[in-house]
């Protein structure tokens, strides 16, 4: 059973990006990285105020609680599609993946982190031709082994087929890990699915899972006009020597699993080595009372906007828009920032873990603020090489953050971790004191420090 440990629950950091596009952790799980845009006000010429927006990478040390912000000096971020970001070496270098839709090129930037200047520098850039133009996804499950998988869909005029390739995680090592095109194998894999049932599909827009034994894709089934996650099947391309063999595998699903999960409600799928974490933000059904309230409120708002709002707009020619301004303020006070009130119950957060070695599923219980989840909260997950997951909960409206750590439910905890967890219940400040002592004695990011926490042994927004 997965054990949860809360690492931080408090106010939002001032230097956190306002818009978070990628979330990833190091292979040891200690450091979390968020790429996005940060907006701040700057004084120009000692008299003028200017709002500045810049691209940054935010680094958070999960154990010590310290953070750093690195300037991202890479061209084309406002024009090209930002696909993903992942770390190669512990806190020293990472790779930013962009996609140029016009040229059909995957761009890998190898970034070095300069902690003295708090900036990144591009050490190497690699452009790789890729025919996919839509739903570009990157599987990082074997990035610590040197390879990643990129998938996407062809244009509609070319059939909208799923294509992919296996390529080097480090763009400077493409000679050691040459690119392998997977288009034929993916087509054969989809044909095997259709042979089982015509309503089975490879999950569109899903992130591929890759291990040293093969590449795996989640499966969905069509019911009517919607696609629902199929939890007892897994399509795969298995590595058998130098041969790639398409296959369809059966998984052991949970007995009490509500398998009717629409893929539209999926939150994140992240994977590292043999452990995959899949989460859903599941809407809850409305009862008779809430349905009636929703209908009455929608009808009332439409009537109010159509007649009262329309009259104030017409009357604006006589009072210079004063009545329309008063009506707008009244409507915002009455309904809120949205056009219509929402009486639907808050959604639930559901997380599941798949062990790719035994092909078994497990459910993870995580309590989140469902009201915030309904508004604008983000729940981001990444997993390290041991299958332990870091959960980042981000509430924009009330500016709150929450960091948590889940152990791998398929991996027994070490006696050290079990003993330390029990002692922490009695004396919570113990972990911080031990980490500070270990950090000063062993050095920043040392192997001894990583092994002490049980998060080591050489993880994404995905």
Q: Look at residue 442 and tell me whether its pLDDT is greater than 50.
A: no
Residue 252's region, left for phi above 0, alpha for psi from -120 to 50, else beta, is beta
Asked if 212 and 189 count as a contact pair (C-beta separation under 8 A), the reply is no
Q: Look at residue 285 and tell me whether its pLDDT is greater than 60.
A: yes
Confidence of residue 150 (pLDDT cuts 50, 70, 90): very high
Closest by CA to 62, choosing from 108, 5, 20, 21, is 5
Rounded Cα gap, residues 108 and 93, in angstroms: 13
Token pair listed for 274? 């043999």
Rounded Cα gap, residues 459 and 436, in angstroms: 24
Most confident of 10-19, 250-259, 322-331: 322-331
Token pair listed for 430? 């113990």
Closest by CA to 34, choosing from 10, 18, 11, 51, is 18
Q: Look at residue 264 and tell me whether its pLDDT is greater than 60.
A: yes
Rounded Cα gap, residues 339 and 290, in angstroms: 18
Confidence of residue 429 (pLDDT cuts 50, 70, 90): low
Question: pLDDT tens digits for 30-66?
Answer: 889 999 888 777 777 777 777 777 889 999 888 788 8
In this prediction, residue 440 carries a pLDDT of: 43
Per the model's pLDDT, the better-predicted residue between 45 and 240 turns out to be 240
What percent of the chain is modeled with pLDDT above 90?
A: 36
Cα 93–chain centre separation? 20
Phi and psi at 317, nearest 5°, equal -70, -15
399 in helix, strand or coil? coil
Confidence of residue 219 (pLDDT cuts 50, 70, 90): very high
Task: Compute CA distances 37 → 22, 70, 327, whole Å.
Answer: 11, 11, 35
User: For residue 12, what are the contacts with CB-CB under 8 A and spacing of at least 6?
Assistant: 394, 395, 399, 400, 401
Question: pLDDT tens digits for 315-355?
Answer: 888 888 899 999 989 988 888 777 888 888 888 888 999 99
Closest by CA to 218, choosing from 6, 361, 419, is 361
Q: Look at residue 460 and tell me whether its pLDDT is greater than 80.
A: no
In this prediction, residue 432 carries a pLDDT of: 56
| pTM (two decimals) | 0.82
Task: Report the pLDDT averaged over residues 78-89.
Answer: 88
Confidence of residue 376 (pLDDT cuts 50, 70, 90): confident
Task: Compute CA distances 263 → 71, 137, 191, 210, 378, whole Å.
Answer: 35, 15, 21, 20, 17
Rounded Cα gap, residues 424 and 126, in angstroms: 47
Strand partners, 164: 151
Q: Which stretch of 42-56, 398-412, 439-453 has the lowest confidence by average pLDDT? A: 439-453
Residues in the chain: 462
Task: Compute CA distances 390 → 91, 201, 455, whole Å.
Answer: 17, 30, 10
Confidence of residue 448 (pLDDT cuts 50, 70, 90): very low
Per the model's pLDDT, the better-predicted residue between 39 and 299 turns out to be 299
Strand partners, 148: 167
Question: String of b and e for 4-43 (b: at least 16 CB within 10 Å)?
Answer: eeebeeeeeeeebbeebbbbbbbbbbbbbbbbbbbeeeee
Question: pLDDT tens digits for 96-143?
Answer: 999 998 899 999 999 999 988 888 999 999 999 998 888 899 999 999
Confidence of residue 235 (pLDDT cuts 50, 70, 90): very high
């Amino acid at each position: 059973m997965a054990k949860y440990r809360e690492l931080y629950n408090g106010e939002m950091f001032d230097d956190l990006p306002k818009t978070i596009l990628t979330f990833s952790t190091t292979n040891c799980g200690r450091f979390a990285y968020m790429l996005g845009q940060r907006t701040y006000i700057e004084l120009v010429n000692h008299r003028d105020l200017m709002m500045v927006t810049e691209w940054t990478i935010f680094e958070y040390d999960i154990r010590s609680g310290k953070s750093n912000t690195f300037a991202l000096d890479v061209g084309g971020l406002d024009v090209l599609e930002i696909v993903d970001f992942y770390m190669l070496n512990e806190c020293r270098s990472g790779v930013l993946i962009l996609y140029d839709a016009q040229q059909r090129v995957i761009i890998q930037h190898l970034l070095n982190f300069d902690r003295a200047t708090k900036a990144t520098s591009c050490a190497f850039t690699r452009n790789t031709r890729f025919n996919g133009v839509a739903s570009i996804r990157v599987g990082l499950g074997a990035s610590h082994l040197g390879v990643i998988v990129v998938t996407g869909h062809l244009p509609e005029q070319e059939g909208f087929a799923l294509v992919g390739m296996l390529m080097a995680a480090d763009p400077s090592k493409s000679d050691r890990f040459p690119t392998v095109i997977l288009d034929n194998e993916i087509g054969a894999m989809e044909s095997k699915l259709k042979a089982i049932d015509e309503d089975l599909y490879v999950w569109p827009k899903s992130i591929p899972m890759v291990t040293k034994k093969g590449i795996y894709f989640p499966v969905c089934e069509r019911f009517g006009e919607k696609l629902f996650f199929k939890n007892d099947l897994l399509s795969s391309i298995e590595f058998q020597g130098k041969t790639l063999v398409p296959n369809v595998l059966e998984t052991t699903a949970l007995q009490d699993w509500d398998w009717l999960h629409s893929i539209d409600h999926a939150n994140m799928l992240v994977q590292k080595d043999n452990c995959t974490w899949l989460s859903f933000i599941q809407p809850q059904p409305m009862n008779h009372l809430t349905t009636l309230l929703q209908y009455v409120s929608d009808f009332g708002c439409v009537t109010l906007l159509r007649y009262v709002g329309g009259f104030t707009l017409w009357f604006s020619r006589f009072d210079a828009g004063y009545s329309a301004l008063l009506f707008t303020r009244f409507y915002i006070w009455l309904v809120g920032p949205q056009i219509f009130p929402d009486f639907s119950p808050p959604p639930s957060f559901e997380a599941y873990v798949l062990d790719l070695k035994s092909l078994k599923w497990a459910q993870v219980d995580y309590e989140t603020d469902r009201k915030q989840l309904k508004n604008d909260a983000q729940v981001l997950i990444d997993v390290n090489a041991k299958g332990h997951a870091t959960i980042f909960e981000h509430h924009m409206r009330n500016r709150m953050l929450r960091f948590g750590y889940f152990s791998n439910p398929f991996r027994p905890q070490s006696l050290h971790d079990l003993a330390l967890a029990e002692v922490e219940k009695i004396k919570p400040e113990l972990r911080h004191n031990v980490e500070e002592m270990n950090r000063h004695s062993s050095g920043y990011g040392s192997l001894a420090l990583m092994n002490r926490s049980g998060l080591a042994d050489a993880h994404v927004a995905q």
